[in-house]
Amino acid sequence: NANVSIVEEMVDMIVAQRAYEATSKVIKTSDEMMQIANNLR
């Protein structure tokens, strides 16, 4: 069924987007922590 594969594609896209957002937050947080660490010196 073609409709099923479209739904699966959309779900995969959403999962990939969520993973990308999570990774972006991790990078942003580590950047902020590095900045704080640099300010402590």
pLDDT at 21: 98
pLDDT at 3: 81
- Supply the pTM of this predicted model: 0.68
Question: Which single residue is written with the structure tokens 């991790």?
Answer: 26
pLDDT at 31: 98
**What are the residue boundaries of the structural domains of the chain, listed by start?**
1-41
Q: How far is CA 1 from the centre of its chain?
A: 31
Residue-wise pLDDT tens digits, 1-41: 778 899 999 999 999 999 999 999 999 999 999 999 999 98
Q: What angle (nearest 5°) sits at the alpha carbon of residue 17, between those of residues 29 and 22?
A: 20
